[in-house]
Structure 1
Amino acid sequence: MNRSVHRRTRTLQLAVGGTAVLLALSACSSGDDSNDASSSAAPSASDAAASPADDLKGTVTVFAAASLKETFTELGKQFEAAHPGTKVTFNFGGSDSLAASITSGAPADVFAAASPKTMKIVTDAEDASGEPETFVRNQLEIAVVPGNPKKIDALKDLTGPGLKVALCAKEVPCGAAAQKALDAGGLKLTPVSYEQDVKSALTKVELKEVDASLVYKTDVKAAGGKVEGVEFPESAKVVNDYPIVLLKDAPNADAAKAFIALVESPGGAEVLSAAGFLNP
């Protein structure tokens, strides 16, 4: 009798123990399933890398002052590399003529001008989306033929007899700044030519068609050894602000905003500063 009772007790213990093991295994299995669900719900590396910026496609058309040619071309390459499927095209020229083209309906996404005055042409026509932001500044310098054979050391030297000087047209930002600098020095100068943008004024010196021209420091630096630069104190009174803005009817607004963000980013500032532009 005692043996029978002992056998039944042993059987019951085994059954209870087996049930506990099964429950424990079930709990472990349930825990594993929960972890798997969490893993599948978590974003993968590729999902995490995906962002609205990665969806940017198409062409971004940028109208920019001629003095921005080198830096914006470099930033355009960086933008295309960062956003495969995009292409940045540029129209470089005098800010006044670019503004006139925009207000006449030329399709563009971004406008970067060499002065607030020329930007105002676009904002007054209500062709800008939002407020323009100044992203860099620029200062004038006298560009002379390598070796400076005419010994030009100051702004007043440009008024010397027989000296051939090219200036930007007065309606162009570099031309307006040049006139202000001359006025500040109480000087009068009749150039042999007025050029429609700063690069054209610089080219006159590079080709030795003139002895000197008033251009931006950045243009002298970009020209390398083709010209030499002569600083003059009056230029500090006519430093130009460069504003940039998204255009109201931008065909590719999302990509345009991303390009502006690059220009205004620390990386963009580094490229611009290396070219000689001043911080805003």
Structure 2
Amino acid sequence: MVRPMHRPHPAPRRLRLMTLLFGLFGLFALAAAACGDDSSPTATSSNSNGGEITVLAAASLTDAFRELGVAFQTANPATKVTFSFGASSTLVTQINQGAPADVFASADLANMDKLTGAGGAGAAGTPIAFATNKLQIIVGKGNPRGMAGPADLAKPGVVYVTAAPAVPIGKYAQQVLDKAKVVVTPKSLEADVRAVVNKVTLGEADAGIVYATDVKAAGDKAAGVTIPDDVNVLATYPIAVIKATKNAPAANAFIAYVTSAPGQAILATFGFAKP
């Protein structure tokens, strides 16, 4: 018996077509996954510094940190930085009493120790010294009293102002006077170094001991009298992330920028030196 001739079964042809389609789909899926892998690090790095942070910084850092903050936010557009400036002693007291903040930059080591020591709010890591500053005597434009050094602060009729001993500039100023063996009674104790500067530039005081950077910032409204190195004081500025921060990545990124080459360059334009 002759067997009837069978037509080829269509299943193998459909199977080959389905295999081709699944292969193309797989290629598209791999390509999409590759694109996703390339973009994910960028997204992660930009988001890691996002959100908001509050920086509490010494009054003498006001102008430098404002400019530095603009540069940092330009480099990290997803991050917003809010500054609060004042006496380091006042700021650390606020932090230790629970004021919300992410970064603390002090004009001295003693007030940073109040943050990191027993009873303090604590720091998330070891504080980093990021700048130094020397002291000068600030006087009115043209130096009308003819001041030449610390001894002249004790001359009759000279109105001298400073800050309280708990404020870094008040402590540093007294150290200068002690080294120079000069005894002078201040007319007033101001809240911070900016207030001392304002007293002199407004003509309400003849002189005060401030940071060299403050004399530079005053421009033509004041003049500076150099304090000899043997009686001068070198102020060291430490910075730290506060333990209770709610945005550690952004806080750490800000400190990294302060200590980076661009950050140090900005500080240098305001007269700060490297530690």
Counterpart AA for 2:95: I
Q: 2 CA distance for matches of 1:131 and 1:235?
A: 31
Q: Aligned to 1:131, what secondary structure does the other structure show?
A: coil
**Who is 2:93 aligned against?**
100
The answer to whether the Cα contact below 8 Å between 1:130 and 1:246 also exists between their aligned partners in 2 is yes
Identity of aligned residues (%): 43
The one-letter code matched in structure 2 to 1:171 is A
Q: How much has 1:238 moved relative to structure 2?
A: 1.4
How many corresponding residue pairs? 249
C-alpha RMSD over aligned residues:
2.3
Cα gap change, 1:48/1:178 in structure 2, threshold over 3 Å: closer, same or farther? same
Amino acid at match of 1:165: Y
TM-score, structure 2 length as denominator? 0.84
Task: Please state if 1:119 is matched with 2:90.
Answer: no
Q: CA deviation at 1:118?
A: 0.7
Aligned equivalent of 1:156, options 151, 158, 180:
151
Distance in 2 (CA, whole Å) between partners of 1:157 and 1:234 is 17
Provide the residue aligned with 1:200 in structure 2. 195
Rg larger for: 1
Change (3 A) 1:121 1:235: farther
Q: Distance in 2 between matches of 1:128 and 1:198?
A: 25
TM-score using structure 1 length: 0.83
Q: Is the 8 A contact 1:184 1:234 kept in 2?
A: no
Mapped to 1, the partners of 2:123 and 2:234 lie a distance apart of 24
Partner of 1:246: 241
Cα deviation code 1:64-100 (max 9, x no counterpart): 0000001111111112222223211111000001010
Q: Which amino acid in 1 is paired with 2:257?
A: L
- Rounded to whole Å, the distance in 1 between the matches of 2:121 and 2:168 is 21
**Partner Cα distance (1:236, 1:51) in 2:** 51
C-alpha separation in 2, matches of 1:137 and 1:184: 20
* Aligned equivalent of 2:274, options 245, 267, 279: 279
User: Is 2:71 aligned against 1:78?
Assistant: yes
Aligned match of 2:222: 227
Gaps of 5+ in 2: 1-22
Richer in helix (by share): 1
Deviation at 1:253, TM superposition (A): 1.4
Gaps of 5+ in 1: 1-29
Are 1:63 and 2:53 an aligned pair?
no
Question: 1:42 deviation in Å?
Answer: 6.5
Alpha-carbon shift at residue 57 of structure 1 (Å): 2.3
